[in-house]
Chain A
Amino acid sequence: MHTIVAIKQVPDTSNVRINPETGTLIREGVPAIINPYDVHAVELAVRLKERFGGRVTAITMGPAAAAEALVECVEQGVDRGILISDRKFAAADTLATSYVLGSAIEALNAEDPVDLLLFGLQAIDGDTAQVGPGVATRLGLPLISYALGLESFDPVARRAVVRRKAERGVERLETRLPALLTVEKEVAEVARAPLPNLIRAARYQPELWTAEAPLRFDPDHIGIKGSPTIVGRAYTPPPKTPGERLRVAEQGLAETVSQALAAILSAGVVESLGPVPVTPQQEVSHG
């Protein structure tokens, strides 16, 4: 069984500061970490390897320093780390990134067929949650986003049942394999890695893939050229101020509801409904 985990090295946002003039992140001096969701994706892959055997490959696109993140994946139990790094990839948006990762995964799949692809839900420095779904689309694979855990996993029958966080509760989805999952942190609890992993990682050097070798990526689809996204402006949203509080206990439910409705109507949020008669009907008991 072969699992590929795509990871990203991100600035530790618990430490990050924003330059108030430019609205951009001050990355200097901020420690880099593996995107926290990705750590759980790696852990799930390692657990599956322990159960079913096989290999785990971690890939990342990023600067040379991202090799550290792959070494950390090896500490966690990943077998092989691939750093896709070239100045030609710089300034990639999610479209260009999903092209590069998708192409790399296709090449790895040709070498050693892939049973499962795991991505973190989203990267904490961009929060787009687009790259995983983008790769699934490019590769024509079933996508399950917001995965919370595997209910069953059968690499022989090539089927899995995945629990997925939905707007209202949890969905159970059955999928064929290979599939691509973007995972929540609940998907696997990160265990303390055994010492032999750390010893292996201490001397591990990830493979380096450039824009030309061993794969030749289409220059029109990578880096800034392959990235149609334009960032208009980045800004720190002002802190939300709390709205008016209506106190049911003091003024009764009917009065509260009518006040709330009046506020909603006057804000114009439900304008299309037309005028709604606001007449308190009766006291409704609750609780």
Chain B
Amino acid sequence: MPDPNAQRYDAIVVGGGPAGVSAAITMAREGLEVILIERGRFAGAKNFFGGVMYTRALAEVLPDFQARKPPWERPVTEQGYWMLAPGSVVRFMHASQAYRQDPADAYTVLRARFDPWFAQQAVDLGALVVPKTTVVALIEDADGRVIGVRTDRPAGEVFAPIVILAEGVNNLLTQRHGLAKADLPPRFVALSVKQYIGLPAKEVSARFGLAGTQEGLAIDIFGDATLGLPGTAFLYTDKAGISIGVGLLLEEFVKHGLPPYAVLERFKRHPIVAPYLEGGEALEYGAHLIPEQGYDRMPELVADGVLVAGDAAGMVDALHREGTNLAMLAGKLAGETAVMAHRAGDFSARSLGHYRRALEQSFVLKDLKQYRRMTDFLDRSPHFMGTYSGLVNDAALRYFTAHDRPKREMEREIVGLLRDRRGFFGVAQDLYQLVRGMRG
């Protein structure tokens, strides 16, 4: 029997990231007594991402979020891709009036500022947020139902009829409870390294041609940025600084013996990139794992007394650099499921199955299902980013240079490039794989 003096709550949330905080907000607003346990010094201390936060999922969790003054860096008013080759770039950027709404669809944020703000909203709505405490185990009853958690502190047991695991990519509790198989193999985990480079706000605006801090850029970069390996680099404008980073499958770092910081440093020294960063001061350096195992390798999301959400559940859409929005919506749905379970007084996996069904009807599992083959695509076409970025740049150079010779010659040369580098059959194969990857 549990200790009668032990702490009891209506729900326990493990982890103070977007999924956990969204779940806590949802449940606290419905009057549940919620305790959220976070291992970092504060919610967000351990959190890290490239830098773009989408507001639609946030609005699902906190409809009045804008009135609560989130610490936005800049709205994303222009976004797109750079295809980088040594010494050159082809830019594919999109700016639109549609990006200039208030609230904007996407903002750049620094997690060290955003996450504490987000957690504070949960506190304001009545949730209890306990930092500096690690949950080391789930407590089960004789039938294997989860009834609480054990933390790494003295007198550290807490009981509740439902536990929401939003523990992040290192999902040890999810694994120990048998919901996830084991640590993800390195081919299904990306490692992203990033620097936040401080520059005066005016300087950031001037370098990227932005009118002020009401405008911002989000650029994903392929090709030479990752030495042509399957992965992406990114460059986002913050209020007074730039977030710059690279992400590769962990396997690639291992296979090529590349230290992550060296890949980032090389990217920062690229002649197209370096001038944007000049004179800036690296204020933050961090690295984080991103679960990219895809739909087919996601853990079980539901068991008796427990739900899994966010990175812990592999809810990342790598293709669209989305994750926090999936996590927020999943957290909200987990919270709603917990509220329903309380009303029904039933915390069995069967009752909690509502969570899985709600996710399947949302974009979270629909998108993950659609892009279920993306990882396989990158696996089979590792040259994709590198080869085509180089090609596009070489073609552009020929196209835009005045050679004083017939244009037909130039056109033939460009087609020749395609044939030599990849072969027409290879191109057809890549296109087929890409479409397959996108269509699911």
Contact = CB atoms under 8 A, between A and B. Distances in A.
Contact of A194 (B132, B153, B158, B283): B153
Contacts of B154: 192-195
B128 A202 contact: yes
Interface residues of B, number: 18
A196 interface: yes
A165 to B, nearest CB: 30
Interface in A189-227: 192-196, 198-199, 202-203
Interface residues of A, number: 11
Nearest to B132: A198
A75 B156 CA distance: 13
B283 A198 contact: no
B130 A199 contact: yes
State the majority secondary structure of interface residues on A. Answer: helix
A21 to B, nearest CB: 15
Given A192-B153, A194-B155, A199 B35 contact: yes
A29 B283 contact: yes
B151 interface: yes
Interface in B230-287: 283
A29 B154 CA distance: 33
B129 A195 contact: no
A193 B128 contact: no
Nearest to A203: B128
A88 B5 CA distance: 46
Contacts of B132: 75, 198
B214 interface: no
Contacts of B153: 192-195, 198
Contacts of A192: 152-154
A12 B360 CA distance: 47
Nearest to B9: A199
B155 A196 contact: yes
A29 B196 CA distance: 13
Contacts of B170: none
A198 B133 contact: yes
B133 to A, nearest CB: 6
Interface of A: 29, 75, 192-196, 198-199, 202-203
Those 4 A-B pairs whose CB atoms lie nearest each other, nearest first: A194-B154, A195-B156, A194-B155, A195-B153
Given A194-B155, A195-B158, 8 more contacts: A195-B133, A195-B151, A195-B153, A195-B157, A196-B155, A199-B128, A199-B130, A202-B123
